[in-house]
Every structure is written in C-alpha cells, then in structure tokens.
Amino acid sequence: MKTSIETLKHIKKVDPPQDLFNKIAKRIDEQRKKTIKPLWVGIAASLLLGLFLLDIAIISKQKQHTAQNAIEQIIPQTNNTLYHE
C-alpha cells in the first residue's frame, strides 16, 4: 500500500495557459472596484453620528419646554398690567 506522499511524486507538471495570469489580475481588479473605500465609510459614519446627536439635542429641548410648561400650569405667573405698574 502506497502512502499519499509517494503518489504525489508521480504527478506530471502541466504548463498553465498563457492568459491565466491576465485573467487572475482582471478578477483582482474587479474585486477592488467592488469594495467600498474607507473614506466613504467614514463620511457615512460621521453623517449618521451627526444625525443621532441632532436627534438627541432636539429631544432634550422638547423635554425642557414641556417641563417648563408643566411648571407654568402648576404655578401661574401673575400679570400686573391692569394696575399699570
């Protein structure tokens, strides 16, 4: 019984086709074109972060206004315009 290494010794060398290297290089170039550049990923991430922070700022301002309105409803502010003071 032959071992697998002994059977590998009898394999004949085959020359590859002439345009094999060009085909491989073309596939690599196509793959590079399909990838997204890190610059665009950074721009998209910064835009999403900016929108997130803007959303938080808007929500916090709305909460401040609603809290202020609630206090004004509980303790109304007197208006002395009738007394011309």
Q: What is the pLDDT of residue 42?
A: 95
Residue 31 lies in a domain: yes
Residue 78 lies in a domain: no
Looking at the 3D structure of the chain, how many domains does it have? 1
Residue 61 lies in a domain: yes
Which structural domain range is residue 69 located in? 18-73
Cα distance between residue 29 and residue 68, in whole Å: 61
Residue 81 lies in a domain: no
Residue 44 lies in a domain: yes
Residue 62 lies in a domain: yes
Residue 80 lies in a domain: no
pTM above 0.85, yes or no: no
Residue 1 lies in a domain: no
* pLDDT tens digits, 5-60: 888 888 888 888 889 999 999 999 988 888 888 899 999 999 999 999 999 988 88
Cα distance between residue 7 and residue 5, in whole Å: 5
Residue 75: partners with Cβ closer than 8 Å, 6 or more residues away: none
